Amino acid sequence: MTMVISNCFAKRGASHLWQCSRAPHRRIPAILPAHRTYVTVFGYTQAKALVYSAYGQPKDVLSLHRYSVSPAYGRTLNVKLLASPINPADINQIEGVYPSKPPFTQLLGTSTPSAVAGNEGLCEVISVGQEVLNFKPGDRAIFLAPGFGTWRTHAVVLDEQSLRGVPSDIPILSAATVSVNPCTGYRLLTDFWGEGGLQQAAINGEWVIQNGANSGVGRAVIQMAKIWNLKTINVVRGNRSPTELSNLRNDLRDLGANEVITDEELSSEEIKGKIAYLTGGRGVGLGLNCVGGRATTDMARTLRHSGTMVTYGAMARQPITIPASLFIFKNLSLRGFWISKWAGEKVEERGKMLDEIFEWIRKGWLKDAPMEEVKWTEESKEEELVEAVSKAGQGTGAKKIFVFQEN
Amino acid sequence: MTMVISNCFAKRGASHLWQCSRAPHRRIPAILPAHRTYVTVFGYTQAKALVYSAYGQPKDVLSLHRYSVSPAYGRTLNVKLLASPINPADINQIEGVYPSKPPFTQLLGTSTPSAVAGNEGLCEVISVGQEVLNFKPGDRAIFLAPGFGTWRTHAVVLDEQSLRGVPSDIPILSAATVSVNPCTGYRLLTDFWGEGGLQQAAINGEWVIQNGANSGVGRAVIQMAKIWNLKTINVVRGNRSPTELSNLRNDLRDLGANEVITDEELSSEEIKGKIAYLTGGRGVGLGLNCVGGRATTDMARTLRHSGTMVTYGAMARQPITIPASLFIFKNLSLRGFWISKWAGEKVEERGKMLDEIFEWIRKGWLKDAPMEEVKWTEESKEEELVEAVSKAGQGTGAKKIFVFQEN
């Protein structure tokens, strides 16, 4: 019996914990903490993934599947996950209400065809095939390919084009959550100004209004707007205790928010005067909507002539209702944005954007949204992991993120 | 007592009917039909206008005011109206619900400050001041200045820039209604295709869907789409008798409509398949909305990825409601258009557009929408004229148009 050890471990001369669910195995106690993993006597890495074979509520359809990953060869790379967030879109995808639907396959050896849940995450390369050019073991990377399935301990990546390297000085949680929220915020503030673009908007000191301002995208928008000399009016839900609301206001102001108002304030009679006062009579140039319903109609009314409102989410699960007069006489434009679609089309632009965002993270200009870590170890039970998914979005409002650890 | 006869009549050597409501007057029986008018012994033209001094229902606020117009001098021109349509926007303006509000003045000598109703029309120049360069008596023109007040027999035009000459071979009714509906249709089909513009859309043979397809704008859109190699799906209200509906279908198909469907058909389950069949699977690139409410939501669903919907009217007086998913995942754009605003900004483009439209009228490519003539003579009573305004839009659905005649 020949033991094939994947590149990364062979190079570093580490000894490992060998384990195989089917073949006899023996434990080797000495462990290199950063690279400890489970590898069979055949060199297979023992991996686990949260998979689903039918659409439904996460607690009903998600299961933890164990499988083994063969060593990297040719153009493939083997990676282990470091962290992977639970985004609202991931839940929608499991529910089957998201337009991007990964195909159900039997690649992982599930009894019925399945897909791995999760779409965003940071990984570390653990072994590469001989035809891989730009990655070596130990490199960190995020997933560029949409619908890759990131809620798993290890993965085989078929093509290095699916990965984007991340500098080693970017904190794990920041890097693992960079590709959805900060990238969405960046595009929302960049792509919708029309002639003259963001540059002219920055020169004019344009105002932006956004609802769901304390979301991950909302916090990115606040910080990027400040970097680019735009000013923000930030709408948050008012159904909080006075202390919570006060804390949230301070929290967002600390990030650079110019104004924080509640949805009730946005609906009030006085808002017209307030917006005029805040913007020095200029009005708001851009509205960013992730809510829908009444809050969105109210926001549209605050926009100046020829202003634009971009919808990128639908937290209230209500449609967007706009009086015809706002289109005809105020020449309002309503647009939409979906980062997955954009990212698939603008590969080069995406690379430049990520470089810029990493630089901001390094400088401390772009701070993470609050996150609640969910540890995923070899000992983690299916119930714990599925429960974390089911309860994502509940409680503190902090984004839940899987953080993968050996034990 | 010196009698000053305005240029046009002096030149043509006509004798006229002299009349003055305040000064003594005498009648001269010989009349030149095309130029018969009422001129005082002081050379003042006797004019009448439908004016309003407060906002409200036309029957409550409109009155027929008589006044006199002094001969043209300097840069002014005197014109007499030939025809002036009753547009929905005119009614909204009288009701005070239109954003463009002409100032109330005492220029016409009304006891309280007033505005002259009406915004569109064709006139004939009857006299010009010595500084007028581009018009001479007998020339026909339409009004370029917004809110001029066209429901009157005569008018003093302060600046020839407010007028645009109309070739003499363009029929009166066509010319009198060219600047709102055909110009709106032209811009709707031209300005909303994004990159590649109308030219690329024509090459692609794009499809357009419009509601209110039997309106003045709708009929212009059908005919212009045919000229430009675009195809149209035309939505009309189904609450008609089978015969009426059949006649309307034939009517619009004769103009060049590719498909005519009812709002019920648009709301049906089968519409998705029908649209796919009609457009050869390509989907509809542009939606034109003048209705609002359910009909507009249904129309938005028929649009292809990255399609655009433009709102230019609100016949149903209901807002526009769109699911967030159409913005996010279908990248739909919602825009608005208002011809008054556009026309004020694009003077040169407007001139070229009118030349092109006049050429189409001459060739028989652009036919008028059905019109119902309301004669306005010296004998017309206030009640008759006001009633015509009040009942505009009722009955046959044909646009009512004032046609000015001597008797």
Residue A189 has pLDDT above 60, yes or no: yes
Task: Indicate where chain B has its CATH 3.40.50.720 domain(s).
Answer: 181-341
The predicted pLDDT at position B42 comes to: 59
Across B295-328, b (16+ Cβ under 10 Å) vs e yields bbbbbbbbbbeebbbbbbbbbbebbbbbbbbbbb
List of chain A residues whose C-beta atoms are within 8 Å of the C-beta of residue B89: none
pLDDT digits (tens, 9 = 90+) for A25-75: 434 333 334 444 555 555 677 999 999 999 999 999 999 999 999 889 999
Q: Looking at residues A129-142, what average pLDDT do you find? A: 97
The pLDDT-based confidence of B403 (bands split at 50, 70, 90) is: very high
Domain A7-177+369-404 in CATH: superfamily?
Answer: Medium-chain alcohol dehydrogenases, catalytic domain (3.90.180.10)
Query: For residue A406, what pLDDT band results from cuts at 50, 70 and 90?
Result: confident
Mutate to test the interface with A, among B327, B329, B330, B342 (most CBs of A within 10 A): B327
Task: Name which of B327, B329, B341 is nearest A334 (Cβ-Cβ).
Answer: B327
Q: CB–CB of A99 and B329 under 8 A?
A: yes
Count Cβ–Cβ pairs < 8 Å, chain A vs chain B: 104
pLDDT over threshold 60, residue B163: yes
Q: How far apart are CA B385 and CA B66, in angstroms?
A: 14
* CATH class (in words) of the domain with range A181-341: alpha beta
Taking the C-alpha atoms of residue A219 and residue A366, their distance in angstroms, rounded to an integer, is 9
B346: its two tokens: 């694009």
Contact B327 A335 (CB under 8 A): yes
CA torsion through residues A296, A298, A301, A303, sign: negative
**How many Å separate Cα B203 from the centre of its chain?**
30
Q: Is A44 an active-site residue?
A: no
Average pLDDT score over residue span B155-164: 95
**8 Å CB contact between B292 and B174:** no
Instruction: Select from B99, B325, B334 the Cβ nearest to the Cβ of A333.
Output: B334
Instruction: Specify the pLDDT at position A396.
Output: 63
Q: What pLDDT is recorded for position A42?
A: 58
| Across A71-75, A140-144, B1-5, least confident range | B1-5
**∠ CA A389-A393-A397, rounded to 5°:** 135
pLDDT of residue B5 exceeding 70, the answer is no
Res B29 pLDDT > 60:
no
CA distance B114 to A398: 61
CA-CA distance, A273 to B283, in Å (whole number)?
A: 43
- Catalytic, out of B67, B98, B186, B312: B98
Q: How confident is the model at residue B254 (pLDDT cuts 50, 70, 90)?
A: very high
pLDDT cut 90: percent of chain A above it: 83
Residues 6+ apart with CB under 8 A from B256: B222, B223, B225, B226, B232
Helix axes A181-190, A197-204, angle to 10 degrees: 80
Dihedral of CA B308/B313/B315/B318: which sign?
Answer: positive
What Cα–Cα distance (Å) separates residue A95 from each residue in A52, A110, A112, B173? 10, 19, 18, 59
Of A204, A174, A190, A207, nearest to A360 (Cα)?
A174
Kindly report, as residue ranges, where domains of CATH 3.90.180.10 are found in chain B. 7-177+369-404
CA torsion, points B72, B174, B236, B186, in degrees to nearest 10?
A: -80
Alpha carbon distance B391, B402 (integer Å):
13
Looking at this predicted complex, what is its ipTM?
Answer: 0.84
- Amino acid B30: pLDDT: 38
Q: Sort A92 into a burial class: Cβ within 10 Å, 0-12 / 13-18 / 19+.
A: middle
**CB-based contact B332 A333, cutoff 8 Å:** no
Interaxial angle between packed helices B294-301 and B271-278, expressed in degrees from 0 to 180 and rounded to the nearest 10: 50
Has residue A14 got a pLDDT over 50? no
Which chain A residues touch B310 with a CB distance below 8 Å? Answer: 327
* Shortest CA distance from B340: residue in chain A: A329
Burial of B287 (0-12, 13-18, 19+ CB in 10 A): buried
The secondary structure of B332-358, three-state, reads CEEEECCHHHHHHHCHHHHHHHHHHHH
Q: Which of A310, A323, A330 sits opposite B319 (nearest CB)?
A: A323
> Of B312, B320, B330, which is closest to A322 when you measure between CB atoms?
B320
What mean pLDDT, rounded, does chain A reach? 89
Residue B348 CA to residue B361 CA, distance in Å, equals: 20
Residues whose CB is less than 8 angstroms from the CB of residue A352 and which lie 6 or more positions away in sequence, other chains included: none
Tell me which of A52, A67, A98, A186 is the catalytic residue: A98
